[in-house]
Amino acid sequence: MNVTCKAIGATCVIFAATLATWVAMNAAAGELDPPAGPIGPTMKPLDQVEPRVAINAQNTPGNADALFQITQPGSYYVTGNVIGVAGKAGIEIAAAGVTIDLMGFAVRGVPGSTDGVRSSLSIGIHRLTVRNGTVEDWGGSGIELAAGGGELSLVENVVASGNGLFGIRGGFHTTVRGCRAASNGFVGIAVSNGGILESCIATGNQGGGGISAGAHSTVSACSAVQNVGIGITAGSNSTVTRSTAQSNTLSGFSISSGTTIIACAAGENGQQGISAGSGCTVTHCTAFGNSLNGISVNAPNSTVSGSTAVGNTGNGILAGLGCTISGCSTSSNGLNGVNTGAGCTIRDCTARLNGADGIAAGDGSTIAACTASQNSLNGVRVTADSTVRGNTCDGNGLAPTDGAGIFVTGADNRIEDNNCTDNRRGIDVDGSGNIIRRNTCSGNTVHWDIASGNVCQAVIAFTTGGFTGAAGGTAPGNTDPNVNFTY
């Protein structure tokens, strides 16, 4: 419509408004006539909404060995609980590159069944994933992915319980994450070399222990409790961190040579708390109440640092040849606090209230800057060719036992700069050919018990009257820098 107004400007405004309204109406309305041809659906097809394949008798028919069999790579899911039958596996994977989502359902076995989810025996069944569900009560293993290789596989967020063999078993370079394995007949969770185990729990497994990883593996934030066997086992050159092993019938942790274990706790296990092979590193770990030794690195060239061993029946820390023990605390163990072989270094450690010696070392060792107190026998004991320097030994070897702050049994030792107080005997040297210098003794029942043939002089230090200010006092009584003082 065109309305003519006296003012030319008004006419232009009304025309423009009318044109804008007409354009908007036509743009919103669209095409009113339907296109030629039959009318069809406008929704997405189901294979686009759910591109995965349902596991059922039509899509994944079984065979003589399995209720369902997957023969093509792809992503699969279950639509309900899978109940097994005798003589068969639940789901068999016969192709590489398969992912199965259990969708929170259970794959449940029956008496006489085999494995819950397994790879076939064909070679090269790798890159498998199983997640999000429960696999229980199978006669064989809950999840068995190592039969056909199972390399580079993943199992996550799965509960495996009550199975006859393994709860979960993976091949080389398999990752198991966020899983639980309980009351299985053999190992709860096991992976081959290069495996990764994260945030897993194994409890009450009955045959081969809780968690087992092959060489070059990583175990982190895992827990193994009340398993028959070893709590957590790791092969050579592995790393175990932030994990717990409690109340297992054998050792809490058993780690092979070259492995590092960090920030782990082992308590009330039937053998060792932590058992390590040669060349291992144990750092910031705790071992308490174990039936044998707390931390056992009874093999050459290992290191234990910043760790604690309390209330173990045997030694707090037991170490082999050439080991280094530093910054550790041991107390209330049934035997020695720290007990090492020859050629070891023990530094900055504390040993208290242990049932035998606080610290005992083999030939050619160094014990420095340690504190040993109230141990039943000796605070520090060495044999031959060793250095004992700068230690504090207090209250050791009291009745009914007969120990010393420092006890030396052999020759060629250097005992210097130690302070021994309130022991049954301060420094007791039974061998000859040793040098004993710059040590101090006070409050001991017997201060010095030194055999002949040693280099040693002890004098009673002079005491001084009280004084204040910048100078005063009395010299201790001898200017020889090597003399020992009784005070």
Residues 230 and 102 placed together within one structural domain of the fold = yes
Beta strands in 409-465 (DSSP E): 414-416, 419-421, 425-429, 435-437, 440-442, 446-450, 455-456, 458-460
SS3 94: coil
User: Which residue range(s) make up the domain with 132?
Assistant: 57-250
Reported as a single tens digit per residue, the pLDDT across 128-139 is 999 999 999 999
Residues 114 and 240 placed together within one structural domain of the fold = yes
Residues 245 and 375 placed together within one structural domain of the fold = no
Judge whether 280 lies within some domain. no
Judge whether 168 lies within some domain. yes
Rg (CA), the chain: 37
CA distance 213 to 235: 6
Count of domains for the chain = 2
Residues 362 and 233 placed together within one structural domain of the fold = no
| Domain boundary pick from 250, 279, 309 | 250
Contact 110, 87 (CB under 8 A): no
Judge whether 4 lies within some domain. no
- The pTM of this model reads 0.88
Reported as a single tens digit per residue, the pLDDT across 186-202 is 999 999 999 999 999 99
CA distance 235 to 244: 17
Reported as a single tens digit per residue, the pLDDT across 299-352 is 999 999 999 999 999 999 999 999 999 999 999 999 999 999 999 999 999 999
Note the pLDDT of residue 36: 67
Judge whether 27 lies within some domain. no
Residues 237 and 365 placed together within one structural domain of the fold = no
Judge whether 413 lies within some domain. yes
Beta strands in 55-187 (DSSP E): 66-70, 74-77, 82-83, 89-93, 98-101, 106-108, 117-119, 129-136, 143-144, 154-161, 168-170, 175-177, 180-182
| Domain boundary pick from 250, 283, 314 | 250
| Domain boundary pick from 250, 283, 311 | 250
Judge whether 63 lies within some domain. yes
Reported as a single tens digit per residue, the pLDDT across 101-150 is 999 999 999 999 999 999 998 888 999 999 999 999 999 999 999 988 88
Judge whether 23 lies within some domain. no
Judge whether 118 lies within some domain. yes
Residues 371 and 246 placed together within one structural domain of the fold = no
Residues 98 and 241 placed together within one structural domain of the fold = yes
